[in-house]
Amino acid sequence: MRKERRKKLYLGDSFQRNILLTVYLSVIIPVFLLISMLYLFVFKLIISKPSVSEVIILNLLTWVRKISLIILGITFLILFILRRIALKLTHRIVGPLYRLERELSERLIFDKKSPILIREKDILKSLLEKINKLLERKIL
């Protein structure tokens, strides 16, 4: 096993991109629905009570804007944290798959005999170890 640090977390792979997009949308869509429902609730409240003074309406709208901005700020903070976590997790899958594909192609083209390199934290570590054993049997 070889100790090697990954240089880039985002490889631009479609699998990794789809996972990140799913994470983003699963946070952004509910937040925008929540904010929209909050505004809709306030406007329905204002329309249903025409006797409410203008000062109360302005005060209520100011609070709704403040709450919406707080929710958006927290959302972007959560997205930043989730992005880091999702990048690390998907890279532990995509990185080894990319390396496995490249290494197997090299073995087919150049008749390379050395084992495929494995990182300690790779999620597919057991699969790569079994492929190395299989390659070892084929070589001997």
The per-residue pLDDT for range 69-103, each reduced to its tens digit, is: 999 999 999 989 988 888 888 877 887 888 888 88
> Residue 118 domain-assigned?
no
pLDDT of residue 29: 93
How far apart, in whole angstroms, are the C-alpha atoms of residue 95 and residue 114? 19
Q: 101 lies in which domain range?
A: 14-110
> Residue 129 domain-assigned?
no
The per-residue pLDDT for range 21-53, each reduced to its tens digit, is: 888 899 899 999 998 898 888 888 877 877 778
Average pLDDT over residues 110-139: 80
> Residue 116 domain-assigned?
no
The residue type at 61: L
The residue type at 72: L
> Residue 119 domain-assigned?
no
pLDDT of residue 126: 84
Q: Is the confidence at residue 20, as pLDDT, over 60?
A: yes
Write the CB contacts of 38 (distance below 8 Å, at least 6 apart in sequence). Answer: 64, 67, 68
**Helix, strand or coil, per DSSP, at residue 63:** helix
**Helix, strand or coil, per DSSP, at residue 140:** coil
Retrieve residue 129's tokens: 């170890």
